[in-house]
Chain A
Amino acid sequence: MKKMVVLLLVLGLLLSAVPTFADDEKIVVSRWAGDHADDMKFVAENYNAANVVIDDIGYENLRQKQIQSFSTTGDYDVIYFQEIWAEDYIRNGWLAPLDEYIEKSGLDISTFSPSFVEVNQADGKTYGLPAMTHTYIMVYDGAQLEKDGMSIPQTPEEMVALAKFYKEKGSGISIPAGQGQAAADVFSTILFGAGGDYFDADGNLALTSEPVLYASKIWDDLCKYSVDGATTWLNEEAADAVRTGIAPFGITISDTNFLDLNPDRSRIVDTVVYSPIPPRNDLVGLAGVWSFGVAANSENKEAAFDFINWMIAPEQDKAMALLNSQTSALASTAADPEVASKFPFMAAASESMLKAKYNPLNPGASELMPALQAALSEIATSDNNPVDVLTKLQSDLESIVTSK
């Protein structure tokens, strides 16, 4: 019996000597679940300054769960959020300003593209630090283009001409023209590249402005010369069509391009070529960005920031890029020779986002996107004149949608 007591005491002493993190060193990260979350967990295992718990849940429930935590439960310290939620999170005071921590840590935020930083700023304060980005780029079967004597288009008109050429040969361009956000994103990219926007300088809806009508004509032509079925496709099908050889080229979201390089999924591994979507004027791509922020109701704000600062550092950022093909917000990661040779699409994606813009982010514009999606679908699937469709949309929405 005595031996047993002594053994238990020794065991207790040994266990107490094992280093454990104090309760206040536990950092809970809220993000969506999937391969990217698993890779983040793998990288975060090397973080020694705190016990990091990554609470990953389905994307469809993420925003609701984060807001619930902001409003009541306070479960999270680090918030992984996308740009379309930023304005709401900042306006409601759910994110803590990071300026004090940035200054204290000596972090140089000028290493990020300004558009990725500005989207998380309000009233001169920074509320989030960018990590992962995505945009829309062109993907080509270079061998097919070469065989047909075609070259990579430099303007939207050349892109339409190339689509027409291949449509007449029985295929066409692959685009995500099904009713949904992907179609609206491609349209925004064409619009931003034409120097336009959805609102005029006074913040009024401007769907009948010249650049919007120009973009709608390009959209109409692309749909007309798209592969059969593309008017029901979302991002995945559009990307699949190019990599399986159904279409010789297409417009794809950069999140899907890593599969072009997988021999089990792609027939264009050795011939794939990427470029930005050709602009009418300057190259201004549409960006999506996921950023890290600190919950305003976190009790471990400093520790939370320290983890973010570690996670977005070039070493971890490169590790995430190599593991998950994430298009980094750090230009240095995309330009890294190892990353660039493993994922050649990153160069085109980074180039597209050098001067990036976003879909309207303010609450006054929240009704625009669903209505635009339906209008773009109407243009894609009917003979209706795109100018008439957008003029009607302008008259339906101008009294309710504003950039203010």
Chain B
Amino acid sequence: MPVVFLMPTIVVVLLVMIFPLIYGIFISLFDYHIGMKITSDSFVGLENYKALLYDKVLHRAFLNTVLFALLANLGELTFGTLISLTLLKCKKGIADFVRGLCTMPLLVSPIITGFIWKYMFDPSFGLVYWILGFFGIDSSEFPGLGKPTTALLCVAFTHWWQITPFVVLVVTSGLLSIPEERLEAANLDGASGIELFFLIMLPALKNVYYVVLIISGVDTIKVFDLIYALTQGGPANSTLSLSIYSFREAFEVYHMGYAMAVSVFLMITAFIIFGLPFIHANSSQEE
């Protein structure tokens, strides 16, 4: 009987998640182009996966993706925590106002964020170089999105601008959930601010960080819209992510089978980097 009640959910999950996933994996075994009929002649087995090993552009995209995920998550957690701690020291009215203001970037879609920051980073049109100009810095000293050396950092910065407010909200709620007596006891024992953070607050925030890492981590490993709007993967493929590469292979080069293999590879990467630790953390907590 419970199965009957679960049927709508099972059907939706099967149709929306499981079937497309199986179909994608199935397509990745063919030399398939949009509009083509799938026949035994176009079956290539694991050839598309084998080709991943020799594809230099894919290797670059993989490196960029992992580097971006690391930069993005490290930055948002660090800045989010620092801002949360600072706001806790502020007067309630000011802190509430700043927190409210902070949530605004969250309301903007990543593609719009990308377009906004593309103009902000533009040496001719943008605000960033106007501000840097006061410090005597121009585009030859900090090339921003214009050079492979700094482009990925600028993309990560844009991500921080958008996602840090989310971390601020979550970390603040984590900090507020720490019992007041514990903090007071540590203060009475003469703990310094740093000791207070590392010995009391950080352990209490462990689960909060797990949640943020899972949500934001998976988002960053499959990043598409933000980079597409900012750089389209350039300059010289220095910000090309696996998702953008998969999209290009599917809709610009029309290698749908290969694009699916790249997507499956991306999914496995996301699972290994963020899925496995999450499962491990969950099972340890249950034990």
Measured CB to CB, the residues of A under 8 A from B are: 60, 63-64, 67-68, 70-71, 88, 92, 94, 178-180, 227-232, 234, 237, 240-241, 246, 363, 366-367, 369-371, 373-375, 377-378, 380-382, 396
Expressed in whole angstroms, the minimum distance between the Cβ of B42 and any Cβ of chain A is 14
- B144-170 Cβ-contact flags toward A at 8 Å (1 or 0): 011110000000000000000000000
Chain B residues bordering chain A, tally (CB within 8 A): 33
6 cross-chain pairs, A with B, having the tightest CB-CB distances, nearest first: A179-B234, A67-B35, A228-B123, A378-B236, A381-B235, A229-B123
Interface-forming stretch among B195-203, B213-221, B248-256? B248-256
The reply to whether B146 and A229 contact each other, CB–CB distance below 8 Å, is yes
Inter-chain CA distance A220–B34, complex, in Å, is 36
Residues of B within 8 A of A (CB): 34-35, 37, 56-57, 118, 121-126, 129, 138-139, 143, 145-148, 231-237, 248, 251-255
Complex contact B235–A228 (CB within 8 A): no
* Whole-angstrom distance between the Cβ of A46 and the nearest chain B Cβ: 34
Q: Which residues of A contact B231 (CB under 8 A)?
A: 178-179, 232
- Give the residues in chain B near A246, CB-CB below 8 Å: 124-125
Contact A366 B235 (CB under 8 A): no
A252 to chain B, nearest CB (A): 15
In the complex, the answer to whether A232 meets B145 with C-beta atoms within 8 Å is: yes
Contacts of B129 in A (CB 8 A): 228
Assembled-state Cα–Cα distance A227/B148 (Å): 18
Contact of B139 among A63, A71, A229, A377 (CB under 8 A): A229
Given contacts A228-B139, A229-B139, A367-B253, whether A378 and B235 have CB atoms under 8 Å apart is: yes
CB pairs A–B below 8 angstroms (14 shown)? A63-B251, A179-B231, A228-B146, A229-B122, A229-B123, A229-B125, A230-B124, A231-B235, A240-B125, A366-B253, A370-B253, A382-B147, A382-B236, A396-B56
A178 to B121, CA, bound (A): 14
**Is the beta-carbon distance between A377 and B236 smaller than 8 angstroms?**
yes
**Cross-chain contact B148 with A179 (CB below 8 angstroms):** no
Residue among B123, B138, B232 making CB contact with A178, cutoff 8 Å: B232
Complex: chain A residue closest to B60, CB-CB: A374
| Cβ 8 A contact of B232, one of A88, A179, A240 | A179
Q: A63-B34, A396-B56 are in contact. Are A229 and B234 (CB under 8 A)?
A: no
Residue of A nearest to B237 (CB): A374
Contacts of B254 in A (CB 8 A): 88, 363, 366
With contacts A71-B35, A374-B57 taken as known, whether A381 is within 8 angstroms of B122 at the C-beta atoms is no
Known: A229-B123, A232-B146, A378-B236. 17 other contacts (CB 8 A): A60-B251, A63-B251, A67-B35, A68-B35, A70-B35, A71-B37, A178-B235, A179-B236, A228-B139, A232-B231, A240-B125, A366-B254, A370-B252, A373-B234, A374-B57, A381-B234, A382-B148
Residue of B nearest to A66 (CB): B35
CB A262 to nearest CB in B, in angstroms, measures: 18
